[in-house]
Amino acid sequence: QLQLAATGGGLVQPGGSLTLSCQGSGFNLDRTGYPIAWYRRAPGKDYQTISCISGSDDFTYYADSVKGRMTTSRGDAGNTVYLQMNNLKPEDTGAYYCVPHNLCGEFGPGARIWSSWGQGTQVTVSS
């Protein structure tokens, strides 16, 4: 089953930084050209869209709650998508997932390519 794996989470103090990575599990993400969206699932809450990046021109979208603090980008080799998170807040705590979509536009990600959430990574922001 094709899925994406998010890694790089951890425990960080408020104001700290983390960089999450997203790679294909068993396949080369770059060859798909999929736009990739990042989601967060906080304890007891639903999945929240954090950001997305297009597959071709690297257009990016960010939720208002993370604008100016988080940046998503593709690695030089194209097989990894990153989420750089700065000035982290306790409300950023949750499991983070990366998911492929058919597009990333000004209103966020479009339809999901597949239903699996894949491997997430836990981010905990606490003093």
Helix and strand totals (H; E) in the chain: 1, 12
Comparing 55 with 10, which gets the higher pLDDT?
10
Comparing 127 with 56, which gets the higher pLDDT?
127
Share of the chain above pLDDT 70, in %: 98
Query: What's the pLDDT score for residue 114?
Result: 85
| Lowest mean pLDDT segment, chosen from 10-14, 40-44, 58-62, 78-82 | 78-82
Query: What's the pLDDT score for residue 102?
Result: 93
pLDDT digits (tens, 9 = 90+) for 71-122: 999 887 768 999 999 999 999 999 999 999 999 999 999 999 988 899 999 9
User: Where would I find the beta strands (DSSP E) of 13-127?
Assistant: 18-24, 36-41, 47-53, 60-62, 70-74, 80-85, 94-100, 104-105, 108-109, 121-125
| pLDDT band at residue 47 under the 50/70/90 scheme | very high
Query: What's the pLDDT score for residue 2?
Result: 76
